[in-house]
Amino acid sequence: MTDDQYTFQDPSKMFADITPSAQYQEGAGLDSELDDRADHGEKTYRGSGRLTGRKALVTGGDSGIGAAVAIAFAREGADVAISYLPEEQEDAARILALIEETGQKGVGFAGDITSPDFARGLVADAVSELGGLDVLVNNAGKQQFVEDLLDLSDEQFDETYKTNVYAMFWITKAALPHLAPGSSIINTSSIQAYSPSETLVDYASTKAAINTFSKALSQQLAPKGIRVNVVAPGPIWTPLQTAGGQPTEALPTVGEETPLGRWGQPSELAPAYVFLASGESSYVIGETLHVNGGMPTP
């Protein structure tokens, strides 16, 4: 039997067959172009009906964490809509096929969430295609390392905030009229909000903003029966890392600073999102789940 997320394993020895190399991709990056493909749980995630009947929208669902979440949600019984950039169509098509293999509905929307019109229209389109919405995962993000603040352009700073913060605001605001009591909003922060790298000033500050936005909104929406929570990943092997998210030469050793001594894989994030989307977390509000290989946080 193939190992699944319930298999007893030594976490320090997992994914030893995935050894990220020094590689670079132009643009947003594709999982299909990674020298060592990330693990999204394609062969291992086993569902148990925890999200039966749910309708979820996952931004950045073509690869990385978003793809692992989309696969897990579908295998737990949810219909899933994903958004992605047009150049990520190849990856998106593969994830949508995996969703459909579960017997659930999978729909994809190509576009740039830094456009307020696309971001707001994305919600309307997802509601129309799925017949409703009760789980929103704001996951899509932009990360580009810059070693000197003097080299951080206004354009990059603006685009990082629009991707990571403004889009979350636009999409969440558009989704709220459709979310009934019992719905869940899950935003993606990062270890960078707690232990920021000197080369990720703009990215790290957006992740701190996501934390505060989420905690404030959770207080506002809790009386309405809508839960808002956060997942904060550590170093996770995704195409974003090879597309300027980290210095190319650093890729083989990123993750060694964690107590587990390795990169995390997207599949290791999916159960946290499933928990926060399901009724099992009914008393969990304004919380941040850290999935970071043991890196201490305040």
Residue 44 lies in a domain: no
Burial of 82 per CB tally in 10 Å (0-12, 13-18, 19+): buried
Give me the amino acid identity at 4. D
| 17 part of a folded domain | no
Residue position matching structure tokens 């969703």: 99
Read off φ and ψ for residue 270, nearest 5 degrees.
-55, -45
Distance, in Å, from the CA atom of 106 to the CA atom of 261, rounded to the nearest integer, reads 35
What is the number of structural domains in the chain?
Answer: 1
Host domain of residue 247: 49-291
Q: Which helix (H) or strand (E) holds 171?
A: helix 167-175
Sign, CA dihedral 243-249-254-257, equals: negative
Instruction: Examine residue 28 and state whether it is found in any structural domain, yes or no.
Output: no
Please report whether residue 281 resides in a domain. Answer: yes
37: phi then psi, degrees, rounded to nearest 5: -65, 145
> Could you give the CA distance from residue 64 to residue 42 in angstroms, rounded to a whole number?
12
How many Cβ atoms sit within 10 Å of the Cβ of residue 161? 18
Q: Is residue 20 part of a domain?
A: no
13 belongs to a structural domain: no
29 domain-assigned = no
- The pLDDT value given to residue 2: 57
Specify the pLDDT at position 193.
98
CA–CA distances in Å: residue 28 to residues 53, 86, 236, 244: 32, 10, 16, 9
Strands 79-84 and 227-233: unpaired
With respect to residue 65, please indicate whether it lies within any of the assigned structural domains.
Answer: yes
Known catalytic residues are 203
The tally of CA atoms less than 13 A away on the side-chain side of residue 146 is 18
3-state secondary structure of 4: coil
pLDDT at site 3: 86
DSSP 3-state of 106: strand
CA dihedral 210, 211, 212, 218 (to 10 degrees): 100
CATH of the domain at 81: 3.40.50.720
pLDDT tens series, the chain, 298 aa: 358 999 999 999 999 999 999 999 998 899 999 989 999 999 999 999 999 999 999 999 999 999 999 999 999 999 999 999 999 999 999 999 999 999 999 999 999 999 999 999 999 999 999 999 999 999 999 999 999 999 999 999 999 999 999 999 999 999 999 999 999 999 999 999 999 999 999 999 999 999 999 999 999 999 999 999 999 999 999 999 999 999 999 999 999 999 999 999 999 999 999 999 999 999 999 999 999 999 999 7
Inter-residue contact 168 to 161 (CB < 8 Å): no
